[in-house]
A and B are shown apart, each in its own frame.
Chain A
Amino acid sequence: MNEWVIEAKNLTKVYKMGEIEVEALCGLSMQIAPGEVVAIMGPSGSGKSTLMNIIGCLDRPTAGEYILDGVQVSNLKDDQLAAIRNRKVGFVFQSFNLLPRATALANVELPIRYSGSGKGRKERAKQALESVGLQDRIYHRPNELSGGQQQRVAIARSLVNNPAIILADEPTGNLDSKSGEEIMHLLLSLNQERGTTLIIVTHDPGVASKTHRVIHIRDGMVEEEV
């Protein structure tokens, strides 16, 4: 086991907006240990989203090193990044991002389909849905589920390939406070049961207070760690 599941060194990300170059990250470094629950907070424009995209292997840093679960990710090709995302990262989005026409089960099956291992797909998807408490809703479509339930399906989807980290972007942002709390509770209990590293990007101090550690980002740098 590696010492760190996430190790970022001097991450720099520069966007070109026409003629002007915008530095979204300027030499950011951080480490996250396996099994940790970390919140990333920061005002808009702080580079928080950029950091999240790089951690989630959706984007590459302009400079610097990023090692995810022992794999040097910084200079992988698109399809290799896709494979890393598929196996090592589980995404939970603010707006759930479920396929509207597919059943809960089919939505959860999606990452397994892209991983190329078709064996026991249905069983694994069912188990994942069971672990989020939706075993009796597996054939419902997203529009037949409440917001909280939809987010549970999304969490099941993020779990199904046993990723190294779960990256949740404002997971409670579109939910009322009660289901928001339920979702937070679910995420934390999954972290305890499975030991999956959980990274939550949030504005909500209430959410951040439930994590082990909060990383504040400002102007593309780590401002403080609490």
Chain B
Amino acid sequence: MTIWQAFIEALQSLSANKLRSGLTILGIVIGVAAVIAMISIGRGAQDTITGSIQGIGTNLLFVFRGGSEDVRNPQPVTLGDAEAMADKFQAPSVEGVAPILQGNAKVTFGKESHLTQVSGVTPDYSSVRNIKVTEGEFITEDQILGQASVALIGPDTANKLFGRKEGVVGETIRIEGQPFRVTGVLESKGGSSFSNQDDRVLIPLTTAQSRLLRRSTRDRVDLIMVQAINAQSVPLANDEISEILRNRHRTAIGADDFTVFTQQDFLDTAKTITQVLTIFLGGIAAISLLVGGIGIMNIMLVSVTERTREIGLRKALGARRIDILIQFLTESSVLSLLGGVIGIALGWTISYIVGRIAAANQAAINPSMGLDIVLIATLFSTAVGLFFGLYPANRAASLEPVEALRYE
């Protein structure tokens, strides 16, 4: 018996019970489709998230207060720290430094009111984050010195407050009741999964310190963004700023009271999270594949019982144990293979539709279907068929010919 003959014969005997075979295949189809859809959607989400992190810029570092868990009373990062990092001699790998104060505030114009993120920034923020304005101009050194009541607003914020994205420079908005003059509109950065970069308000750092986002000490900031001269010098810049901060904060060795996060760290964290999510979803989907496998086993057991006489006859005509084993294993494998192929198509369709729905809701998830997923799903479903087919096939193969022939 060649494999091809066994395959043809399996198809014939499966097609004799079309409804039953179809329902069994359906179990596998659902399992494989669920696994495929979950994994490809998970991967799509991962691509979106890592993509948006990469969009921030590949040569950025973020400096926060607080370090390893054992440090007591961590000192805050300050404007002085930021200035020290900007020193070309102490930190030659640093291109630009942007200290930031952040908070949420209610922004109003006329009767329109909107809660959004307000950041106090310096002029350098524009180059560090590569931010451009579509009208007006970015925060200037003079405005910093004068603690000017000026604000730049994101395009979405403008839309919400004014119902338009242009021609709003010169209008006066109120932030937490205080009047601010709009001096510019930020260029759109596109949607991001974390926070909407287009819905925000930027004001001079000094203004924020003194009037809007007061902190315990005068020169304290929430975050310092550091731009390295290029992507390769990020580790070097990391070492340099860490050294500067250790000196300024006078910390003990190995007890840093600050954290430097690179974009790579963000990427790694996000990847870990999405991978865990993908595995979790895939695992749940795999359970349905398992249920499908049990379906195969069930139907094969019924089939073996039904065909006891046939098995007896085949044995009488000279079929060996292995011949019967192969016959039934082929049948269960064909069931699961067919289910696998249809499941791949269905899973692909589902992930495509989910991608479309996500796109329609402005959450760009591009489900990615790799050849590896298809291969794994095919192998896995065939393995399920073989595994769950083994017991029934073995049962068929070990029937005694005399008793099998006598079976009514």
- Report if A79-B320 is in contact (Cβ < 8 Å); known contacts: A101-B12, A113-B1, A114-B1: yes
In the assembled complex, how far is the CB of residue B20 from the closest CB belonging to chain A, in whole angstroms?
A: 14
Give residues 70-91 of A contacting B (CB, 8 Å): 78-79, 82-83, 85-87, 91
Contact of B317 with A by CB under 8 A: yes
A91–B314 Cα distance when bound, in Å, is 11
Q: Are B405 and A58 in contact, with the CB atoms below 8 A?
A: yes
Q: Are B13 and A58 in contact, with the CB atoms below 8 A?
A: no
Q: Are B318 and A82 in contact, with the CB atoms below 8 A?
A: yes
- Report if A115-B405 is in contact (Cβ < 8 Å); known contacts: A101-B13, A101-B16: no
Give residues 310-356 of B contacting A (CB, 8 Å): 310, 313-323
A-chain residues with CB within 8 Å of residue B2 when the two chains form the complex: 118
Contact of A148 with B by CB under 8 A: no
B-chain residues with CB within 8 Å of residue A86 when the two chains form the complex: 317-318
Contact of B402 with A by CB under 8 A: yes
In the assembled complex, how far is the CB of residue A157 from the closest CB belonging to chain B, in whole angstroms?
A: 7
B-chain residues with CB within 8 Å of residue A23 when the two chains form the complex: none
A-chain residues with CB within 8 Å of residue B319 when the two chains form the complex: 82, 114
A114–B315 Cα distance when bound, in Å, is 9
When each residue 1-37 of chain B gets 1 if its CB lies under 8 Å from chain A and 0 otherwise, what string results?
Answer: 1100100000011001000000000000000000000
When each residue 97-120 of chain A gets 1 if its CB lies under 8 Å from chain B and 0 otherwise, what string results?
Answer: 101011000000011011100100
A85–B319 Cα distance when bound, in Å, is 9
Q: Are A58 and B317 in contact, with the CB atoms below 8 A?
A: no
Contact of B392 with A by CB under 8 A: no
In the assembled complex, how far is the CB of residue A96 from the closest CB belonging to chain B, in whole angstroms?
A: 10
Contact of B160 with A by CB under 8 A: no
Which of B13, B314, B321, B402 is in CB contact (< 8 Å) with A53? Answer: B402
How big is the B interface, by class? 20 to 34
Contact of A56 with B by CB under 8 A: yes
A-chain residues with CB within 8 Å of residue B309 when the two chains form the complex: 97
A-chain residues with CB within 8 Å of residue B5 when the two chains form the complex: 113
Contact of A59 with B by CB under 8 A: yes
Q: Are B320 and A110 in contact, with the CB atoms below 8 A?
A: no
Tally of A interface residues using CB under 8 Å: 25
A56–B320 Cα distance when bound, in Å, is 15
- Report if A114-B316 is in contact (Cβ < 8 Å); known contacts: A58-B405, A99-B310: no
B-chain residues with CB within 8 Å of residue A114 when the two chains form the complex: 1, 314, 317-320, 323
Q: Are A56 and B316 in contact, with the CB atoms below 8 A?
A: yes
Chain A residue at minimum C-beta to C-beta distance from B398: A78
A-chain residues with CB within 8 Å of residue B13 when the two chains form the complex: 101
When each residue 50-65 of chain A gets 1 if its CB lies under 8 Å from chain B and 0 otherwise, what string results?
Answer: 0001001011000000
In the assembled complex, how far is the CB of residue A75 from the closest CB belonging to chain B, in whole angstroms?
A: 17
In the assembled complex, how far is the CB of residue B335 from the closest CB belonging to chain A, in whole angstroms?
A: 17
- Report if A91-B317 is in contact (Cβ < 8 Å); known contacts: A97-B309, A101-B12, A101-B13: yes
A-chain residues with CB within 8 Å of residue B401 when the two chains form the complex: 58-59
Chain A residue at minimum C-beta to C-beta distance from B406: A49
A-chain residues with CB within 8 Å of residue B315 when the two chains form the complex: 58, 82, 85
Q: Are B320 and A82 in contact, with the CB atoms below 8 A?
A: yes
Which of B310, B317, B322, B323 is in CB contact (< 8 Å) with A85? Answer: B317
A79–B320 Cα distance when bound, in Å, is 5
B-chain residues with CB within 8 Å of residue A58 when the two chains form the complex: 315-316, 401-402, 405
Chain B residue at minimum C-beta to C-beta distance from A95: B309
A102–B401 Cα distance when bound, in Å, is 21
In the assembled complex, how far is the CB of residue B9 from the closest CB belonging to chain A, in whole angstroms?
A: 9
A102–B317 Cα distance when bound, in Å, is 15
B-chain residues with CB within 8 Å of residue A157 when the two chains form the complex: 317
- Ordered by A's residue number, 13 sampled pairs between the chains whose C-beta atoms are within 8 Å are A56-B316, A78-B321, A82-B315, A82-B318, A82-B320, A82-B321, A86-B317, A91-B316, A91-B317, A97-B316, A102-B12, A110-B314, A157-B317
Q: Which 6 A-B pairs have the closest CB atoms?
A: A86-B318, A114-B318, A79-B320, A82-B320, A97-B313, A111-B317
B residues sitting closer than 8 Å to A (CB atoms) are: 1-2, 5, 12-13, 16, 309-310, 313-323, 400-402, 405
